[in-house]
Amino acid sequence: MYMERRDFLWFAGLGIAWSVLPSPCFAAKPLKPLKVRRAKVAAGAKCPFRILHVSDSHVARIDSRSPEGTYEFAKARSRNGRELGEYYLDEAVHLARVGKIKLVHTGDFMDFMSEANLEYAERRLCTDDFLACVGNHEYWLDANHRDTEAYKKPTVSRLRGSWAGIPASTHRIGGINFFVFDNSFETVTGEVVAAFERTLGEGLPVVMVCHVPLWAEACGMKAHVCGKPGLKENDSVSCEFVEMARKSPLVKAVLAGHVHCYREFAFSQTATELVAGALFNGDCTEIEFS
């Protein structure tokens, strides 16, 4: 019996697949298509190019290899429509490949760290058309997560290689340096600052790629930002890093996620910050760089 791909759903924690088959007495309500926003950034590219910006897919796979604590955490997380993250990720990958453009994922690809999630992510992220930074959920093992740098140690080595920017890396696209870095717990380290200074030293336009939005007066967020004075006690490193980025005329855009709703605002006199909506809600942004 024929079954369309969009009729397949994966439910985290339950470990089962559910399908809706055609029936004379039941009509399945089709899932909403991707909502594709469009934005333009004048960044001094060699020639115009496009990317597909997505964030927060929150893929939630679990199997018997995970400990009981992770399994119980996964069951608690299976709610509020996030089980559609994997479906919409497939749709976004397909859209990017048809358009022959790079897909940039700004964190929380996974909802939590599990062997099943990690294997799926590694298969997806190993392709040349995928660039992904790490988010806070990539580090979460169970309900006892702590948003500190020390908490990353058990899992950070597993993420290196598939996720870019741990703690920071630079990727040249169309004559623009995409600076990808880890600010998943709303802070950056001295390693990130040093890598950013080296990238600025190359003298090329810069697009910053991270999970948590960077603070600017226009962003309108009181929390869930990186580098806001007074938000994180004694976090002068992050505040100085964001101020450095705001003062540099080479920085043309900031791509982020984390807050699950679309935002677009002035980061500085020369840069726009584009915060992607949640991919598990079918939200994505096609950005043209000129």
Per-residue pLDDT tens digits for 28-51: 678 899 999 999 999 999 999 999
Residue 35: count of CB within 10 angstroms of its CB = 13
Architecture of the domain spanning 33-289: 4-Layer Sandwich (3.60)
Q: Give mean pLDDT in consecutive 10-residue pieces for the chain, a chain of 290 residues.
A: 35 41 55 94 95 95 78 70 86 95 96 89 87 94 82 89 93 97 95 98 98 93 89 85 97 97 96 97 97
Residue 27's pLDDT is what? 56
Residue 269: count of CB within 10 angstroms of its CB = 8
Torsion angles phi and psi, residue 23, rounded to 5: -145, 145
Torsion angles phi and psi, residue 193, rounded to 5: -60, -45
Q: Which residues pair with 252 in a beta bridge?
A: none
Q: 208: which DSSP letter?
A: E
Delimit the domains of the chain by residue range.
33-289
Largest CA distance in the chain: 66
Helix (H, G, I), strand (E, B) or coil at 150: helix
Residue 83's pLDDT is what? 78
